[in-house]
């Protein structure tokens, strides 16, 4: 079994925040693969189903970001899972908007949700880092991630979240590079090469 965790803050006032892109991703995965409605478990909202024959639980902690680890730890203990069976989807200010990277372990770079999970279960889980960009002023990071995506970004946001869900099976099969490549190409398709200009025909 795999546990996929989306990080965010509960409540409609936070639903469109950059900090909630993890919730958005897990919600899109549940919708694409026909998971049943989530119910309250482990201090969060959880649903279980399968993706291409693999048993998967989806969890969105409702503890607020800085207590996410309490929810994740309870779910892991209940299902007897180790960190290798956990993928955490979270906002990443060190990536350009709508870029994705996956890594295992490492630091939390000041992300309160990751810091809480590290404290409860250790660092050896996989992180799906979802780029949201960053403000020029480092002192404005907290305000920036707690603001909604701009209207001009919302079409790209929708395409990004849809691509995360569509290509997720590649991650479950161990093809993380393929997943990242497919998502990147969906948002940044290669430009078509213009045909070479024809040489001018000299006059008779």
Residue 77 in contact with residue 108, Cβ under 8 Å? no
- Give the list of residues 6+ apart from residue 151 with CB closer than 8 angstroms, or none: none
Q: Which of 14, 19, 111, 120 is catalytic?
A: 19
156-164-192 Cα angle (round to 5): 55
90 is catalytic: no
DSSP-assigned states of every residue in 6-73: E----SGGGTTBGGGHHHHHHHHHHHHTTPPPPEEETTEEEEEEEETTEEEEEEEE-S-GGGHHHHHH
Give the catalytic positions in this structure.
19
């Amino acid at each position: 079994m795999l546990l996929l965790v989306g990080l965010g803050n509960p409540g409609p006032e936070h639903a469109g925040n950059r900090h909630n892109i993890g919730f958005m991703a897990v919600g899109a995965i549940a919708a694409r693969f026909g998971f049943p409605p989530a119910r309250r478990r482990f201090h969060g909202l959880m649903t279980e189903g399968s993706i291409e024959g693999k048993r998967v639980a989806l969890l969105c902690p409702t503890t607020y970001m800085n207590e996410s680890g309490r929810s994740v730890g309870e779910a892991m203990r209940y299902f007897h899972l180790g960190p290798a069976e956990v993928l955490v989807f979270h906002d990443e200010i060190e990536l350009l908007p709508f870029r994705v990277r996956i890594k295992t372990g490492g630091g939390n770079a000041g992300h309160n949700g990751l810091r809480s999970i590290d404290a409860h279960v250790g660092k050896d889980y996989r992180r799906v880092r979802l780029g949201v960009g960053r403000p020029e002023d480092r002192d404005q990071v907290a305000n920036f991630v707690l603001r909604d995506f701009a209207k001009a970004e919302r079409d790209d946001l929708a395409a990004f979240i849809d691509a995360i869900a569509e290509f997720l099976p590649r991650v479950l099969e161990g093809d993380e590079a393929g997943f990242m490549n497919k998502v990147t190409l969906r948002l940044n398709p290669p430009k078509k090469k213009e045909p070479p200009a024809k040489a001018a025909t000299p006059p008779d």
